[in-house]
Amino acid sequence: MTNTIEVSLWRGKADGRYQTFSVPQRENQTVLDVVTWVQRNADPTLSYRFACRVGMCGSCAMTVNGRPRWTCRTHTSKVVENGRLEIGPLANLPVIKDLTCDMQAFFEKWQKAKGVFAPSKTKNDPIEKILPGSPPRQAADAAIECINCAVCFAACDTVRWNEDYVGPAALNRAWTLVNDVRDAGNRDRLSAVAAGGGCHACHSHQSCQEHCPKALNPTASIAGLKRRTMQAYIRREL
């Protein structure tokens, strides 16, 4: 007899409800496999988002038993509790339908934090030599592997309490650019992240670090921005 998991999936929009399915349990089965099984075998109208299935694209994050996770790299054997699994859309983002969130606010906040590279040279200039061991490069490298999954955004209570707060991912991205010696946009960027809803709104709960599937530490990046903006303010650059 095949073991089954009792899976409750969120259906509908914000005022929806959980619907329960019985899904066969398999070896090396991920939470994304479970959701896919439901869509292909039980209810083809189930909406969810995924792309790479290998932890690179950051599109399949969902709330699994109350915790935001990347579902393609989360094995059911690690998260099933008493044969049950509860899967919902990410918190802190509007629900489009079922397990799919509207990510627009999340990416708009990246723009608000000036998380876009501002080139300092043209294509005709020689390529800048970056020493991998230099402190700015190491600071950027420590934060650069973000896959934009919004797990940190969903886990952050400051995002929940303060709708102006740009969130850990956007500030983490800004920190990588602040440490990029090729970038020419730091004056605007530091002004943007020092403004209301920027780095100084962070309460250092460290939920972002605790939940980041890539084991990044956005709190450290935000702390770096707090120091850098303070230094810029003292030097009257802000």
Partner 1 sequence: MRPHTTSHRRDALWLAFLVHRISGLALACFLPLHFLALGLAIRGEATLDGFLKWTANPLVKLAETGLVFLLAVHMLGGMRVLVIENMPWRDGQKRFATGALAFAIIAAAVFLVRAA
Q: Which range, of 30-38, 70-78, 126-134, 203-211, touches partner 1 by CB under 8 A? A: 203-211
Alpha-carbon torsion angle 160, 152, 52, 85, nearest 10: -70
Q: Which one of 49, 76, 80, 88 is in contact with partner 1 (CB under 8 A)?
A: 88
DSSP three-state, residue 104: helix
**How many residues are present in the chain?**
238
Could you tell me the two tokens for 100?
């799919």
Q: Which one of 7, 60, 68, 72 is in contact with partner 1 (CB under 8 A)?
A: 68
Shortest separation between residue 197's beta carbon and partner 1, angstroms: 17
Q: Which range, of 29-37, 38-46, 173-181, 207-215, touches partner 1 by CB under 8 A? A: 207-215
Q: Which one of 36, 172, 186, 207 is in contact with partner 1 (CB under 8 A)?
A: 207
Q: Which range, of 49-57, 103-111, 115-123, 206-214, touches partner 1 by CB under 8 A? A: 206-214
Greatest alpha-carbon span in the chain: 71
- Rounded to whole angstroms, the Cα distance separating 29 from 79 reads 11
16 binds partner 1 (CB under 8 A): yes
Q: Which one of 11, 26, 53, 67 is in contact with partner 1 (CB under 8 A)?
A: 67
Q: How many helices (H) and strands (E) does the chain have?
A: 10, 7
- Rounded to whole angstroms, the Cα distance separating 236 from 16 reads 51
- Considering the complex, state which of residue 145 and residue 157 has its C-beta at the smaller distance from partner 1: 157
Shortest separation between residue 2's beta carbon and partner 1, angstroms: 28
Q: Which range, of 22-30, 48-56, 88-96, 105-113, touches partner 1 by CB under 8 A? A: 88-96
Shortest separation between residue 169's beta carbon and partner 1, angstroms: 15
DSSP three-state, residue 51: coil
Shortest separation between residue 95's beta carbon and partner 1, angstroms: 6
How many other C-beta atoms are found inside a 10 Å radius of the C-beta of residue 212? 24
Shortest separation between residue 30's beta carbon and partner 1, angstroms: 19
- Considering the complex, state which of residue 182 and residue 203 has its C-beta at the smaller distance from partner 1: 203
User: Where would I find the H helices in the chain?
Assistant: 31-41, 76-79, 104-112, 135-143, 151-155, 157-161, 168-178, 186-194, 207-211, 218-234
CB burial readout 13-39, b (16+ within 10 A) else e: eeeeeebebebebeeebbbbbbbbbbb
Shortest separation between residue 184's beta carbon and partner 1, angstroms: 26
Write phi, then psi, for 156 (nearest 5 degrees).
-95, 120
Scanning residues 116 to 175, which ones bind partner 1 (CB under 8 A)?
Answer: 154-155, 157
- Considering the complex, state which of residue 5 and residue 152 has its C-beta at the smaller distance from partner 1: 152
43 binds partner 1 (CB under 8 A): no
